[in-house]
Amino acid sequence: MWQQFISWLSQKSSTCPIQEHLGVHCPGCGFQSSLIALLKGNLIDSIKIYPALLPILATISLLLVHLKFRFYWGKKGVKILFTLSVILILFNYFYKLSI
């Protein structure tokens, strides 16, 4: 069943409209491919494709858990993970523009 879900997700993934129409990468380019690679168990490939995926997923997870349980350090943790995600997204974006 898991393989069917990954296969379905791979078939339904869309191309980036910015890259398609303008010919340049957007800051989110690679997110879907990275997520599919991660679901297949290819952690290293996932990080190479889109380094910000894991911090984004960690930010969302911590945010949801913090909203439910109100951890003392949850708000600060979400801010730190969000900042890390933004830094990685920008770094990845400018790196892709330079190559």
- The ranges assigned to domains in the chain are 21-98
pLDDT, tens digit (0-9, with 9 covering 90-100), for 41-67: 999 999 999 999 999 999 999 999 999
Largest CA distance in the chain: 46
Q: Can you give the length of the chain in residues?
A: 99
Which has the higher per-residue pLDDT, 11 or 49? 49
Closest CA to 96 of 26, 37, 4: 26
Predicted TM-score (pTM) of this structure:
0.86
